[in-house]
A and B are shown apart, each in its own frame.
Chain A
Amino acid sequence: MTAEFVFATAQYESGDWDSAPLLPANIIDTIARYTEIAVAPTGVVAALSDVRMLRYPLLYLTGHLPVRFSDAERANVRRFVDRGGLLFVDDHNHDVDGTFHKTATEEIARTVGPLARLPNDHPLYSAFFKFDGPPTTSHELNGWGDNLVHDHLLAVMHGNRIGVLYSNKDYSSEWNYHPDTKRFMSVDNTRFAVNLVVYALTA
């Protein structure tokens, strides 16, 4: 069992949990590129129905399809958040009228509590790089989804810390590319992922 940070993708039974297959490697590359955090070179898939998902205190969950947790998944997610884990949920549809958004927010509310707007001066946005709020993605206005620029992320707070972070910004599309592609970018669009990981590891 490694002591390194392991990027874990949440697997759930109801939807397409693996809709952003290149994202883990890209985020791992970003963490290694900007920080000294010991990070495992490959990510893992953690089934929410398996109690071993608790071994990964930061979980990334995405998809396009309806999200409906089984009883075991719901119990594990509830325990995960209670014990201090951070579940990052990203709407791959970036559509507030989409099925993922409607069902995922409902499921989160049922499991751990209602989502609320996360203030744009939250420590998450200054944990490593400085942001004035959630960075905009190139996919928000691509003609698909709701074609809105979402100026806030949503969160379920656990004490004074984030238990569930919910995004309609479609980071799953924005970050779902091979890490080598970064060299063609003037600004690395995965920098916010560093904030997310640093926040999860320190807050």
Chain B
Amino acid sequence: MRSRRRRFEIGCRIAAFAVLGWLIGSSLMPRAQLESERASSRDIGVRLARWTRLPASVALHADLKTTPDAWISDWLGALRRTGHPVTWSGTPPAVAIATDALSDPAGGLRIDIAAPSGSVVTVRDGASVIDTVRVASLGATVTAAIAVDSIVGEVNGARFTAAVPDPARLRPVLVVGEAAWEGKFVARALEERGWHVDARFAVAPRVDVTQGAAAPLDTSRVSAVIAIDTTIGLLGAAALERFVREGGGLVLVGSAASGPAVASLTAGRVGARTRPAVLPPDTIGLGATGFYPVRALRPTATALDRRGGSIAIAARRVGAGRVVQVGYDDSWRWRMAGGPGSQAAHREWWSRVVGSVAYVPSLPSLPTVARTTTARGVGAPLAHLVERIGPSRTAPPAAAGWHLDQRMLMAVIMILLCLEWGSRRLRGLA
């Protein structure tokens, strides 16, 4: 019969070897469930360094109320590539910003913003705040004459950034028509606004007054053609259509849209010219003396301006190019005989019309995120986050049960073996 002391010694030895066996077994067999680490929008920035030193088996999860800065998304993406299960959850606002150079010789840029309706977005560049806008219908647009560094939008703590685009490379505008006031003043207004204008005015049979090089009609040489009247047919229907389909802009003024050379390009049929019952007694505004209404609008065309129930301006896309049909055929009266500021208004108006159709060579195609990424951030931070670590997911469950430190277990083994050894020595055994 073994003594109680002998049973204690055997018990200590068995327990020590059992713990040792468990340690060996747990090191050889993978754990059924992962350890995980969590962070919030507030502290994720400071946690990333520690997360980087964790074993790849540790799952990382971010609870996000706002979209993180681009560098955080990039860091999380890098952790994911090293083998960490990386997830995030939350409903940060979906925001985006994009910039485009205006087709305007004076430069400038258009800033398009997408954000939740009703939110207030502050738009700034590297120098100052450009504007603050309240978003309606998920979008807002801001224009700026000049911007430095990059464009940053801020809404509810989310920052989104777009690069300042290079100025649009505009080519000459060609004005074609009979020698008359409208063509002369359209050309002059555009020149005053900084456009390079070539012109061809028919004066007599086989006699044209030309300005600028008589370049072939090609998007590599001409941004847009402004047809003042049906003499546009002299350029040839096929050449005009090819020009527009390749991306060139075409402005059809007044009766110009009734010519057979542009029949396939018009936004609609040209109606009979309207004339006011009473002429303006003093100053003249745009359209005050009547216009050519656009009738039978094509399904692909859009009305841009209506006056008295008729369409005064309409536009359509043809291939890669755009066509604007302008019913006003004597805008020069507005410039010459309008009220104060009419000259500048005429200039701006024509520059906008031409800018809306002018061909601008596009940049080489880049992935959307790459194109909107700048040194200071990204244009669509939520999209950037999803691209880096995937869509929002629920947090992984925490590892079940408790977890013992292996050093503690080694100490337990040592204590058990020491107890057994001490007991045996006290009994006089070796």
Q: Do B330 and A85 touch (CB < 8 A)?
A: no
CB distance from A189 to the nearest CB of B (A): 19
* Most chain A CB inside 10 Å of its own CB: which residue of B178, B337, B342: B337
A52 to B202, CA, bound (A): 28
A35 to B178, CA, bound (A): 11
- Chain A's closest residue to B185 (CB) is A84
* Most chain A CB inside 10 Å of its own CB: which residue of B184, B201, B207: B184
Stretch at the interface among A10-18, A19-27, A195-203: A195-203
CB distance from B83 to the nearest CB of A (A): 70
- Chain B's closest residue to A51 (CB) is B282
Q: Do B284 and A55 touch (CB < 8 A)?
A: yes
Is A82 located at the chain interface by the 8 A CB criterion? yes
Task: Pick from A82, A128, A203: contact of B207, CB below 8 A.
Answer: A128
CB distance from B102 to the nearest CB of A (A): 24
Give chain B residues whose Cβ lies under 8 Å from the Cβ of A185. Answer: none
Task: Pick from A36, A80, A83: contact of B202, CB below 8 A.
Answer: A36
Is B335 located at the chain interface by the 8 A CB criterion? yes
Number of residue pairs spanning A and B whose beta carbons lie under 8 angstroms apart: 82
Q: With A37-B178, A37-B180 as given contacts, are A127 and B209 in contact (CB-CB < 8 Å)?
A: yes
Give chain A residues whose Cβ lies under 8 Å from the Cβ of B342. Answer: 83
Query: Among residues 146 to 173 in chain A, which have CB atoms less than 8 Å away from a CB atom of chain B?
Result: 159, 161
CB distance from A200 to the nearest CB of B (A): 8
Q: Do A54 and B184 touch (CB < 8 A)?
A: no
- Binary flags per residue of B328-363, CB closer than 8 Å to A gives 1, else 0: 011011011100001100000000000000000000
A84 to B333, CA, bound (A): 11
A83 to B335, CA, bound (A): 7
Is B364 located at the chain interface by the 8 A CB criterion? no
- Binary flags per residue of B302-332, CB closer than 8 Å to A gives 1, else 0: 0000000000000000000000000001101
CB distance from B89 to the nearest CB of A (A): 64
A34 to B203, CA, bound (A): 9
Is B204 located at the chain interface by the 8 A CB criterion? yes
* Tally of A interface residues using CB under 8 Å: 27
Q: Do B337 and A54 touch (CB < 8 A)?
A: yes
Q: With A36-B205, A57-B336, A128-B207 as given contacts, are A202 and B184 in contact (CB-CB < 8 Å)?
A: yes
Query: Among residues 46 to 66 in chain A, which have CB atoms less than 8 Å away from a CB atom of chain B?
Result: 51-52, 54-55, 57
Q: Do A202 and B199 touch (CB < 8 A)?
A: yes
Q: Do B333 and A55 touch (CB < 8 A)?
A: yes
Is B188 located at the chain interface by the 8 A CB criterion? yes
Task: Pick from A1, A37, A80: contact of B179, CB below 8 A.
Answer: A37
- Chain B's closest residue to A203 (CB) is B184
A121 to B180, CA, bound (A): 24
Is B289 located at the chain interface by the 8 A CB criterion? yes
A1 to B329, CA, bound (A): 12
CB distance from B21 to the nearest CB of A (A): 98
Q: Do A82 and B180 touch (CB < 8 A)?
A: no
Is A38 located at the chain interface by the 8 A CB criterion? yes
- Chain A's closest residue to B330 (CB) is A3
* Most chain B CB inside 10 Å of its own CB: which residue of A36, A37, A51, A201: A201
A54 to B339, CA, bound (A): 11
Is B414 located at the chain interface by the 8 A CB criterion? no
- Chain B's closest residue to A58 (CB) is B181
Is A5 located at the chain interface by the 8 A CB criterion? yes
A57 to B182, CA, bound (A): 11
Is B386 located at the chain interface by the 8 A CB criterion? no
Q: With A1-B279, A51-B282, A198-B209 as given contacts, are A36 and B204 in contact (CB-CB < 8 Å)?
A: yes
Give chain A residues whose Cβ lies under 8 Å from the Cβ of B184. Answer: 57, 84, 200-203
CB distance from A99 to the nearest CB of B (A): 31
Q: Do A83 and B343 touch (CB < 8 A)?
A: yes
Task: Pick from A34, A57, A161: contact of B332, CB below 8 A.
Answer: A57
CB distance from B171 to the nearest CB of A (A): 21
Instruction: Beyond the given A3-B330, A5-B181, A159-B192, please list 10 additional residue pairs across the A-B interface where CB-CB is below 8 A.
Output: A3-B329, A36-B202, A36-B203, A37-B180, A38-B180, A51-B337, A55-B333, A201-B184, A202-B183, A202-B201
Q: List 20 A-B contacts (CB under 8 A).
A: A1-B333, A3-B330, A5-B181, A35-B207, A38-B178, A51-B283, A51-B337, A55-B284, A55-B337, A57-B184, A82-B343, A83-B343, A84-B184, A84-B343, A85-B336, A127-B209, A201-B184, A202-B199, A202-B201, A202-B203
